[in-house]
Amino acid sequence: MEEKHKLLILYTTQTGNSLDAAERLGREAERRGCDAAVLSIDELDASRLPHENNVIFVVSTTGQGDAPDSMKGFWRFLLQKNLGRDWLSGVHYAVFGLGDSAYQKYNFVAKKLDKRLLDLGAKAMIERGLGDDQHLSGYEGALDPWMSSLWNVLYQMNPSLFRKGLDIVISDVKLMDQPKFEIIYHNVQEGHPGVSDGSDLNSMALQIERTRSMCPGTVSHNKNRPECFLQMIKNQPLTKAAYGKDVRHFEFEAISSVIKYEVGDVLEILPDQNPAAVDAFIERCGLDPESYITVHPRKSRLHLSSMDPVKLKTFVELTMDVMSFFASAQHEKERLQYFASPEGRDDLYQYNQKERRTVLEVLEDFPSVQMPLAWLVELVPTLKTRAFSISSSHSAHPNQVHLTVSVVSWTTPFKRKRTGLCSQWLAGLDPQRGVHIPVWFQKGSLPPPPPSLPLILIGPGTGCAPFRGFVEERALQSRSVPTAPIIFFFGCRNEDNDFLYRDFWLSNSNQGGVLSEEKGGGFYVAFSRDQPQKVYVQHKMQEQSDRIWKLLGEGAAVYVAGSSTKMPADVFSCLEEIVAKEGGVARESATRWLRALEKAGKYHVEAWS
């Protein structure tokens, strides 16, 4: 039988945040002399769970209460009816969830897992922790106090887990010789059989797959090799130039393979980084950009023989999102150690998150920091793909995919100009240049509706993106089969400045289009700043409450997309009022009715920060 772990930390992630949180828990355990193993939940044979004594689960919730892909097999195993009520009677556990309180099913996976573990006889060490993307410090705002309580409880349960006692924390400097990853340098030439120059699409895909498979932070759902490459064919501003907000319509064409997606799907893009920033980072860290390397876990070299080397500069470009933790100058070390402590969390937020300092800027602020590449690989954030709702119908554009993107830019409190990496890069692309863009298609939170399903769509701002695809598809379907009506509520600031896709919506709401009132549908716009009193989509919904209630009575599904701050909750509250008023029931009954609608798969939300 395999040896049980002293402390097992299991994570399940879709975007990488739970991995980051789990690795932080592992590092903090190490600093207290507690041996901990950090594993993705799909790396553990679920039948072995009863043989573990202390298990920490770090789990994220995706979409509308869904578990990440890596957890689905584990969850199916836990739901087996033949598992008795004492199956986990010897297991002590703790659950920390990562979620977003803007969603109705906030941290739903963590809550479900907690309950199921209790049902199977496991004993909770502490109350589950719930991290919230809406907190100023993100999930870490809840993780810090929860982790502090966890170490206290673990120590009270079993002091022998901590080799030097709870209060003796091993210095980070003493752990510096223990990075989890090892860098092997290779003496190879450009013509080496294992070295790809990326000169064609296949070798580009191979190079991305090879490089990102070495990266410790890449998520494991087939993210290493691009599904295909796209080429931009249109870069069109949707907002007026002097408006101050830049929203763009992008069109892409597949160049490497036939693309396939459904309305409601998501396109993930691996963006290019600023070449000057990459070069400055490499120079600041004293690295040789032309050297060839392989990166692998220090504890295992089993797969080294199958790994081909990649150029160091390529590794940085494709995997490292160009924070630091170590300094040799005493005043810098003290400042960094303070930032790393729970007491320094607010100041760290001011210094880092609020100012959005890049890795390069942090290193330049602390000139005594000299970190080996192995530590940089472990500590520099991974370059992640960026996800965008697809705003086209594949049926209407067989070899194309369209996106509606707000180009992110802002000024920090200290007047630093900041931009979103991917959106700014896309906005700067010239369709004539033929840049090859690596992409992956993923299922979103908005399932494609059949033509017979009536729809109530609410999508202010760029939330209209997926619904452009919905309307395109239904307009195409209406030429050959009877289709159900669609009511769409759109919102923006000004009719003149940011009425996104104005002509498209109006053409589909006139002359018998799928959004026309004569077809049972409707298109209603809220211009929030065009009058003294602000008007939002929920005000327009109230005006059409009878029509919404009628469609709901006909079996309509509700789809909501847009900003994750207040909008989804405000829309749900508005629908509660409409159901209570039109149905003649109490507000509590209206809430239960909408929850039943959600449970039946007829209330969907896709929101982003």
Per-residue HEC secondary structure of 230-297 comes to: EEEEEEEECCCHHHCCCEEEEEEEECCCCCCCCCCCEEEECCCCCHHHHHHHHHHCCCCCCCEEEEEE
Does 274 share its domain with 374? yes
In a domain, 140, yes or no: yes
What is residue 454's predicted lDDT score, i.e. its pLDDT?
98
Say whether both 43 and 63 belong to one domain.
Answer: yes
Among 208, 225, 223, which residue's Cα sits nearest to residue 272? 208
- Least confident stretch, 173-177, 559-563, 573-577: 173-177
Q: What is the mean pLDDT of residues 10-18?
A: 82
126 lies in the same domain as 231: no
Residue 414 is assigned to a structural domain of this protein: no
Residue 14 annotated as lining a ligand binding site:
yes
Q: Which of 261-275, 333-347, 394-408, 566-580 has the lowest mean pLDDT?
A: 333-347
Query: Residue 412: its pLDDT value, please?
Result: 67
pLDDT > 70? residue 140: yes
Mean pLDDT value of segment 110-124: 95
Is 164 found in the same domain as 266? no
pLDDT of residue 321: 87
Q: Tokens standing for 38? A: 């950090």
Output the average pLDDT for the chain.
Answer: 86
Average pLDDT over residues 211-231: 75
Question: What's the pLDDT at 221?
Answer: 41
Predicted pLDDT of residue 329 = 44
* Burial of residue 603, with CB atoms counted within 10 A of its CB: 0-12 exposed, 13-18 middle, 19 or more buried: buried
Burial status of residue 304 (CB atoms within 10 A of its CB: 0-12, 13-18, 19 or more): exposed
Is 357 assigned a ligand-binding role in the annotation? Answer: no
**Residue 148 marked in a binding site:** no
The pLDDT assigned to 272 comes to 94
Sequence letter at residue 552: L
- Is residue 340 predicted with pLDDT exceeding 80? no
Phi, psi of 82 (to 5 degrees): -80, 0
Assign 4 to helix, strand or coil.
Answer: coil
End-of-domain residue from the set 353, 379, 405: 379
Q: Is 535 annotated as a binding residue?
A: yes
Residue 356 annotated in ligand binding: yes
Instruction: For residues 483 and 372, state if they share a domain.
Output: no
Number of separate domains in the chain: 3
**Any known ligand binding at 124?**
no
Q: Is 513 among the annotated ligand-binding positions?
A: no
Task: Establish if 563 belongs to a structural domain.
Answer: yes
Segment 292-310 mean pLDDT: 72
Is 421 labelled as part of a ligand binding site?
A: yes
Residue 509 assigned to a binding site: no
Check whether 469 is labelled as a binding-site residue. Answer: no
**Domain for residue 395, yes or no?**
no
* Position 450 in a domain: no
Q: Of 81-95, 290-304, 356-370, 593-607, which gets the smallest average pLDDT? A: 356-370
**Residue 211 is assigned to a ligand binding site:** no
Q: What is the pLDDT of residue 523?
A: 97
131 is in an annotated binding site: no
Query: 387 a known binding residue?
Result: yes
Query: Both 166 and 225 in a single domain?
Result: no
Please identify, among 363, 379, 395, the residue that sits at the C-terminal boundary of a domain.
379
546 band by pLDDT with thresholds 50, 70 and 90: very high
pLDDT greater than 50 at residue 220: no
Q: What CA–CA distance (Å, rounded) separates 577 from 549?
A: 11
Does 69 belong to an annotated binding site? no
Cα distances from 419 to residues 247, 280, 358, 359, 410, in angstroms, run 13, 18, 11, 15, 6
Residue with tokens 């960094």, as numbered in its chain: 336
Which tens digit of pLDDT belongs to each residue from 484-509? 999 999 999 999 999 999 999 999 99
On whether residue 418 sits in a domain, the answer given is no
Q: Could you give the angle at which helices 567-583 and 587-599 cross, rounded to 10 degrees?
A: 120
What is the rounded distance in angstroms from the CA atom of residue 127 to the CA atom of residue 494?
47
Domain match, 145 and 239 both? no
List, for residues 246-285, the tens digit of each pLDDT value. 999 999 999 978 899 999 999 999 999 999 989 999 998 8
> Residue 544, annotated ligand binder?
no
Indicate whether 421 belongs to any domain: no
Question: Is position 63 annotated in a ligand binding site?
Answer: yes
Ligand-binding site membership of 462 (annotated): yes
> Which CATH number characterizes residue 77's domain?
3.40.50.360
Higher-scoring residue by pLDDT: 219, 426:
426
475 & 592 share domain:
yes
Domain boundary among 107, 138, 170: 170
- The per-type count for the chain, helices as H runs and strands as E runs, is 18, 22
CA distance 84 to 91: 14
Q: Which residues of 547-572 are buried (b: 16+ CB within 10 A; e: fewer)?
A: bbbbbbeeebbbbbbbbbeebbbebb
Report the pLDDT averaged over residues 360-377.
76
Model confidence at 84: pLDDT above 90:
no
The verdict on whether residue 172 carries a ligand-binding annotation is no
502 or 367: which carries more pLDDT confidence? Answer: 502
pTM of the model: 0.81
To the question of whether residue 15 is assigned a binding role by annotation, the answer is: yes
Q: What domain range includes position 111?
A: 8-170
- The answer to whether 61 is a known ligand-binding residue is yes
Give dist(CA 66, CA 105) in Å, integer: 9
Indicate whether 331 pLDDT > 60.
no
Is 538 part of any known ligand binding site?
Answer: yes
DSSP string for 93-136:
EEEEEEE-TTSTTTTHHHHHHHHHHHHTT-EESSPPEEEETTST
Cα–Cα distance between 267 and 171 in angstroms, integer? 43
Whether pLDDT at 176 is above 70:
no
- 382 labelled binding-site residue: no
pLDDT-based confidence at 384, cuts 50/70/90?
A: confident
| Tokens of residue 315, six digits | 């590794």
Residue 375 belongs to some domain of the structure: yes
Same domain, 161 and 185: no
CA of residue 90 relative to chain centroid, distance? 35
Share of the chain above pLDDT 90, in %: 56
- Identify the pLDDT of residue 471: 98
The CATH number linked to 478 is: 3.40.50.80
129 is in an annotated binding site: no
pLDDT band at 326 (very low <50, low <70, confident <90, very high): very low
Average pLDDT for 47-62: 92
Question: In angstroms, rounded to a whole number, what is the distance separating the alpha carbons of residues 195 and 210?
Answer: 10
Indicate whether 330 pLDDT > 50: no
Q: Is 600 marked as a binding-site residue?
A: no
Is 461 labelled a binding residue? no
State whether 359 and 327 are in the same domain: yes
Whole-number pLDDT of residue 374: 87
* CA atoms of 124 and 127, how far apart (whole Å): 7
Same domain, 525 and 486: yes
Q: Is 89 annotated as a binding residue?
A: no
Q: Is 536 annotated as a binding residue?
A: yes
Express each pLDDT in 507-534 by its tens digit. 999 988 999 999 999 999 999 998 999 9
Same structural domain for residues 203 and 163?
Answer: no
Question: Is 419 marked as binding a ligand?
Answer: no
